[in-house]
Amino acid sequence: MSADSVIRSRRVVTTDGVSPASIFVRDGVISSVEDGSAGSGGEVLDFGDSVVMPGLVDTHVHVDEPGRTEWEGFETAGRAAAAGGVTTLFDMPLNSVPATTSAEALSAKVAAATGRTFVDVGFWGGVVPGNERDLAGMAEKGVPGFKCFLVPSGVPEFGHVGERDLAAALPEIARLGRVLLVHAEDPRYLPTPSSAADRRYSAYLATRPSRAEDEAVALLARLCRNTGARIHVVHLSSADALAEIARARAEGLPFSAETCPHYLFFAAEEVPDGATEFKCAPPIRDRANRERLWEGLRDGTIDMVVSDHSPSPPELKKREAGDFLSAWGGISSLQLRLPAVWTAARARGGVDLERMSAWLSAAPARLAGMEGRKGTLVPGADADLVVWNPEQTFEVRPEEIHHRHKLTPYAGRTLAGVVETVFLAGEKIFERGRLLVPPRGKLLLRGGV
C-alpha cells in the first residue's frame, strides 16, 4: 500500500477496538488502516505506545467572532483547539455580532473565519422569534442545524423562543433535514434572582433549579414526537431529565443529548464561594447528580461530551467581587476536554479508549452530519488524528492555555492525558506544546457558501 505518509502505533483506536495498526494517508485522507506495521509508503511516523485516536470533534464552541473578538476569536480558539487535540469545531450562532440568524449573517461569519483558523470549522445557524423563513437560506449555505434558547441567552441580539416559535420552526427544520439544538431550561421555573451581590455558589444554584431543565426536556420530547423533527439537548446538567430522554429514545424518536466536562468533573459542594470561573448555565449540580450523569453517559442515554467553551473577558466574570449573580456564565475548556473527561473517567473505572473516542469524536461528528468524514479512522475519512499519552499527568497552568483569556476552573488541577501530536488532513499541526503551521483549517459547509 503506497501513501504520502504512514502513522503507526501499538495503540490505535478504531471501532474494532484498540490494537497495533498503521494508518496510510494520501492527499489528506485515510486510504487504509492495516494491522500492525503492514505495508510501506512515504514518511513513516511511529508513535510507539502512545494512543492514536481520531481527532476530537467539538460541536459546542462559542468563538464570538465577528463582533466580540475581545471575548475569543477564530485564531485563538483554533490554537486552543489544536492544543487540545480538537481538529474540528462547530461555532455557535450567538455572542457574535451579528448573530448567525440569517444567510447574510452566516456569510459575515464565514468571511471572519476564512484563513484564520488552525482547525476545521463549521457553523450552526440560530432560531430566534420570527426567523423561520430564514432557516432555508442558512441551510442552503451549509449549516448542519440550528440552535435556540428557551430562556434569555444573555445577549440582546439572540432572543429566546417559546413553544409557539418552536411550533413554527420545527416543521421547517424537519423539511430541511437538519437538527435543532436547544438550551433546555423552562423559564417558568427560574426564580427572579436578587439584585444584591452574592458570593455564595448556593445562591446562584438556587436560581437555576433542575426542574427547569426537566420540564424543558419533557416539552422538547413532546415536540419531537409531534413534528418528527430531530432535536438535540445541549449541555445537560440535570440527571433527573435522563428518564425523559431515555423514554424518547425507546420510542425511536430522533432525540439526543450531550453533557460537558465540567458537569462530569466538578460538583456543587466543591465550588468555593466567590469562584465565578465555575459559573455556567445550567449550573454544576451536586455530587449525586454528577454520578447519575456518568451513569447516563455509560448507558448511552447521553450521546457525547462537548466543551460548551464560553469565554468572556475577566471583568465580566466579576472574579474580584466574586458575585455569582452578576458574573457572566460560561466556562473555558476547549483545550482541556480530553484530559478532563479522561481524568474523571479513570477515577471511576470502566471506561475504555473506544468509549472515549465515541463520546469525544464519533458522536459529535454524527450530530453535525460529518459521519464517515470526521471522528473515525476509516478509509475515506479525513486524516485528522490526535496522538496522546493517557498515563502521563500535567498541571493546568494559565500560561500554557491558548484561549484568549486564561481564567478556567481547571487551573491548578492535575489532569491525566497529555496531547503530544495533532494531525489535520495528514499534516502535523501541533507537537509537544507548539503549533507548527499557520492557519490552514477548512470551513465545513454542507452545500457550500
Distance (Å, whole) CA 426 – CA 120: 13
pLDDT (tens digit per residue) in 134-159: 999 999 999 999 999 999 999 999 99
d(CA 373, CA 21): 19
Residue 188 DSSP code: G
Residue extent(s) of CATH 2.30.40.10 domains in the chain: 5-52+382-397+411-433
Fold of 5-52+382-397+411-433: Urease, subunit C; domain 1 (2.30.40)
Give 52's Cβ-side CA count (13 Å radius). 25
| Tally of CA atoms within 13 A in the half-sphere of 241 that contains its CB | 31
Burial class of residue 350 in the structure, from the number of CB atoms within 10 Å of its CB (0-12 exposed, 13-18 middle, 19+ buried): exposed
Q: How far apart are CA 166 and CA 195, in angstroms?
A: 31
Q: Taking the chain, what is the end-to-end CA distance rounded to the nearest angstrom?
A: 36
Give the DSSP letter string of 352-376: -HHHHHIIIIIHHHHHTT-BTTBSS
Q: Which of 367, 362, 305 is nearest to 337 (CA)?
A: 305
Residues of the chain with pLDDT under 50: 448-449
C-alpha cell at 29: 485522507
pLDDT of residue 2: 61
Assigned CATH class of 55-367: alpha beta
320-377 residue pLDDT tens? 899 999 999 999 999 999 999 999 999 999 999 999 999 999 999 999 999 999 999 9
SS3 labels along 208-242: CCHHHHHHHHHHHHHHHHHHCCEEEECCCCCHHHH
Q: Say what the pLDDT of residue 133 is.
A: 97
Q: What mean pLDDT, rounded, does the chain reach?
A: 96
Instruction: Evaluate whether 217 touches 195 at the Cβ level (below 8 Å).
Output: no
State how far Cα 347 lies from the chain centre.
Answer: 22
C-alpha cell at 112: 471572519
Q: Say how far residue 106 (Cα) sits from the centre of its chain.
A: 20
Residue 195's pLDDT is what? 81
Residues in the chain: 449
CATH 3.20.20.140 residue spans of the chain: 55-367
Beta strands in 382-432, from DSSP E residues, in sequence order: 385-395, 414-424, 427-431
Unique residue bearing C-alpha cell 460560561: 330
DSSP 235-276: S---GGGHHHHHHHHHTT-SEEEEE-HHHHH--GGGPPTT-G
